Each structure stands twice: as C-alpha cells, then as structure tokens.
Amino acid sequence: MPHHPTADAAPAPRPAPEPFGARLHRSVEARGRLCVGIDPHASLLTAWGLDDDVAGLERFTRTVVEALADRVAVLKPQSAFFERFGSRGVAVLERAVADARAAGALVLMDAKRGDIGSTMAAYADAYLSPDSPLFSDAVTVSPYLGFGSLRPAVDAARAAGCGLFALALTSNPEGASVQRAVGADGLPVAAAVLRRLAEENAGARPLGSFGAVVGATLADPGVDLEINGPLLAPGVGAQGATPADLPRVFGPAVRSVLPSVSRDVLRHGPGVGPLREAAARLVDEVRAALGTDG
C-alpha cells in the first residue's frame, strides 16, 4: 500500500545556509576585491543636483544600486543617512537592500550597533533575520560594551549564514584612546577583539564570517590581524589611503582585506557609466597592489 504522510508530520528541516565568509570569498573572486559605500551625504546630493530630501535620497540610492549592484562584490549602505529622513528614508533603505541583493551584490549594513541582552538581540533581528525588510548579508557592530555583548548577533549571524564586522582599529584619531588601551589581560583592547573574532572563525574555510574593521589609514596597527576572517578597510580614497598602502598596513593579512570606498566612487555620479568606470578602476588598482586575481 502507498504510504501517505499524516497531516501532522513534521516538515523537512531546511538546509543550513551557506556561511557569509564562503559567499564573500566567491563574490570577491568573481567581481574583484571592493566594497562601495552608499553614503548619501547632503553635500553629495547637492553635487548630484538633487535636493536634500526623500526624493533626492531615493534618486541617489537607486542610481548607485543600478550602477553597481550587478558588478561590485559588496555594497555598504550607511544607515544613518537614511534614518535622518525618518520612516520614509528607512523605506528607501529597505528597497535598496532588496534590489542590491537581487542583483547579486552582498549587502553590508553599516549600522555599528552595540548593546546588551534583549536589545542586542533586537538589533540582530532587524538586520540578520531573513524575515526582516532590512535583512542584510552582514552588519557592522561595536564590541565596546564587551565582546560578549555581541553574542546575540553572533548567534543570529551564524544561524542565517550572515556575517559581522566588529570595530577593532578605526581610523578616527579619537578611537585610539579606547582601542589601544591595555586591558586587564595585558592586551590592547583591539587585540582582544581580534582574538575573539579569530576564535569565532576557527576552522572556517575558505574564510570565516566574523570580520573586523581596521582603518586603511593607520600608520602601524601594532596587533596581529590574522583572524581567518575578512578585514574591512575603510579610508581608501577621500580619507587619504591608496590601494598601494594596503600591503604595508595589513602585512600577511592583506589577502583577507576588503577595501571600502565611498566618495571616491560616488563623486563621479550622477551618471551610471562614470560610477561604473570609477569602481572598475579601483578594482584594478587593488588587484595590482595586492598582486592577486581577486
């Protein structure tokens, strides 16, 4: 007799999602080693001939996504520039995230969230839950309430196949007073953050999903950057760093670097063609500087 499953049979478990680190590695190999920020500064909107309002925000964002989402590895919207317009601005961000991911770009939400307990879990739900309209491939987080405070985000990211980028050594001068301070364990705070990230990435191949933010403008990081995970390197372009600086700053860990640029690409708008050309030039410059195919 044929077998008929009962009505209350448990559904088959979903396959585990592919980890962010593996997806990032594949995207960089296919599209080049570059993250482009979507940072709709008021000054950039003006430079594009747009008003500093929701309509200008939407036009700017849609143009960047149209120009780059089908060809760069990662797009990084800065949440603050959307939040400043309230719910209508967040709606523009939601659409941008969905459209960019549909076109094949990985989306790194630059939100730098950090809190404890249920509040951190709520932030994780906002950006790392597949049911959220802001669901992104990764999100930036702040570990300066203690790395353990990030546990809800770490767990949510792992479950959804997403990633985190924790602030470690940022390029702003004020960061050093905290990040280079020596903790009770005798390590600089940034080194302790990097060590915890390495622990989360242990055994991951080809790349872990838990990355660090390390400024490309640093003269000397002074810590071990080998975390078996990606190193987001802001500061290339308008902030003064060049792709040629990356091997000096990152040393042997440079193979895991994801350079991040914003204004050096965005200033070429509003034309789609010039935006694409600017991003392609930077991909080529990074490839030449690192001597890799990625």
What are residue 10's phi and psi, to 5 degrees? Answer: -70, 140
Please indicate, yes or no, if residue 43 is contained in any of the structural domains: no
- Overall domain count for the chain: 1
Instruction: Print the domain residue range for 233.
Output: 114-240+255-261
Please indicate, yes or no, if residue 81 is contained in any of the structural domains: no
Structural contact between residues 232 and 165, judged by C-beta atoms closer than 8 angstroms: yes
Averaged pLDDT, 208-221:
93
Please indicate, yes or no, if residue 34 is contained in any of the structural domains: no
Please indicate, yes or no, if residue 169 is contained in any of the structural domains: yes
| pLDDT tens digits along 119-172 | 999 999 999 999 999 999 999 999 999 999 999 999 999 999 999 999 999 988
Please indicate, yes or no, if residue 104 is contained in any of the structural domains: no
Amino acid identity for residue 81 in this structure? F
Please indicate, yes or no, if residue 283 is contained in any of the structural domains: no
| pLDDT tens digits along 37-62 | 999 999 999 999 999 999 999 999 99
Please indicate, yes or no, if residue 199 is contained in any of the structural domains: yes
Averaged pLDDT, 264-287:
97
Tally of CA atoms within 13 A in the half-sphere of 189 that contains its CB:
18
CATH number (domain holding residue 192): 3.20.20.70
Please indicate, yes or no, if residue 33 is contained in any of the structural domains: no
DSSP 250-268: HGGGGGGEEEEESHHHHTT
**What amino acid positions are annotated as catalytic residues?**
112
Structural contact between residues 259 and 249, judged by C-beta atoms closer than 8 angstroms: no
| pLDDT tens digits along 46-105 | 999 999 999 999 999 999 999 999 999 999 999 999 999 999 999 999 999 999 999 999
Q: Comparing C-alpha atoms, which of 158, 233, 162, 169 is closest to residue 202?
A: 158
